[in-house]
């Protein structure tokens, strides 16, 4: 149940920014006028709209969740500072509280970003699988090296050939079967 609630919460937090970014993209002139009226520089409409849209989609998909969550938390707080600072107006006060609550939601998302049903959690699981596979491969290679060393030091067996030459057999791959006989140079006739 917690997984479903976290997933739905992440989608709902992202949805407001996806819708807002899309509406800003369709009305850049009105958005730019509102930004200039707040005392901010001209020309921020398109970057803000793209940030909201791309960031909202990233949050919805769970891609780079921590980065976008902290950026959106700061964005919500800056929105209060620039656009909703007239607390005497009940509408502005409500908008400020809404943005404050969203900033809190994004801070929670920042703290608990590695949740299921997100790209980040799939990437983390994949990274864990790769690390496990690499550790198993290193352990197997170490066992093979140890078996080879054991065969060269303690398990070297020699057997005489029918012609009187002594051959040394070793088990290099550790399967318990001698690989191929090698002639000792000192027993050559």
In whole angstroms, give the CA distance from residue 22 to residue 27: 9
Residue among 26, 81, 15 at smallest CA distance from 49: 26
Q: Is 30 helix (H, G, I), strand (E, B) or coil?
A: helix
pLDDT score of 121: 76
pLDDT score of 182: 56
Q: How confident is the model at residue 155 (pLDDT cuts 50, 70, 90)?
A: very low
> In this predicted model, what pLDDT tens digit does every residue of 31-71 receive, in sequence order?
999 999 999 999 999 999 999 999 999 999 888 888 999 99
In whole angstroms, give the CA distance from residue 174 to residue 171: 6
Count Cβ atoms within 10 A of the Cβ of residue 69 and give its class: 0-12 exposed, 13-18 middle, 19 or more buried: buried
> In this predicted model, what pLDDT tens digit does every residue of 107-128 receive, in sequence order?
998 887 656 667 777 777 888 8
Q: Do 49 and 21 contact (CB within 8 A), yes or no?
A: yes
Provide the residue ranges of all domains of the chain, joining segments of one domain with +: 2-117, 124-187
In whole angstroms, give the CA distance from residue 32 to residue 11: 27
Give how far Cα 13 sits from Cα of 47, 74, 78, 177, Å: 20, 14, 17, 64
More confident residue, 148 or 91: 91
Average pLDDT, the chain: 82
pLDDT score of 21: 96
More confident residue, 165 or 23: 23
More confident residue, 179 or 74: 74
The pTM score is 0.64
Give how far Cα 16 sits from Cα of 11, 22, 85, 150, Å: 9, 10, 21, 66
Q: Is 101 helix (H, G, I), strand (E, B) or coil?
A: helix
Rounded mean pLDDT, 153-167: 53
State the Cα torsion 143-125-103-44 to the nearest 10°. 100
Residue 142 has pLDDT above 90, yes or no: no
Q: What is the DSSP string of 3-18?
A: HHHHHHHHHHHHHHHH
In whole angstroms, give the CA distance from residue 15 to residue 105: 13
């Amino acid at each position: 149940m917690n997984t479903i609630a976290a997933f739905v919460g992440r989608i709902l937090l992202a949805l407001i920014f996806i819708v807002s970014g899309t509406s800003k993209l369709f009305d850049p002139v009105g958005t730019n006028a509102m930004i200039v009226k707040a005392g901010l520089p001209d020309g921020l409409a398109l970057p803000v709209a793209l940030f909201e849209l791309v960031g909202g989609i990233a949050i919805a998909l769970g891609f780079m969740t921590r980065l976008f969550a902290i950026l959106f938390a700061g964005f919500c707080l800056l929105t209060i500072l620039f656009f909703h600072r007239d607390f005497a107006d009940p509408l502005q006060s409500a908008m400020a509280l809404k943005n404050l609550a969203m900033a809190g939601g994004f801070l929670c998302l920042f703290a608990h970003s590695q949740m299921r049903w997100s790209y980040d959690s799939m990437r983390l699981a994949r990274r864990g699988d790769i690390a496990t596979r690499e550790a198993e491969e290193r352990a197997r290679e170490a066992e093979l090296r140890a078996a080879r060393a054991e065969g060269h030091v303690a398990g070297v067996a020699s057997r005489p050939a029918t012609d009187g030459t002594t051959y040394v057999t070793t088990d290099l791959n550790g399967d318990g079967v001698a690989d191929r006989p090698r002639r000792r140079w000192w027993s050559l006739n």
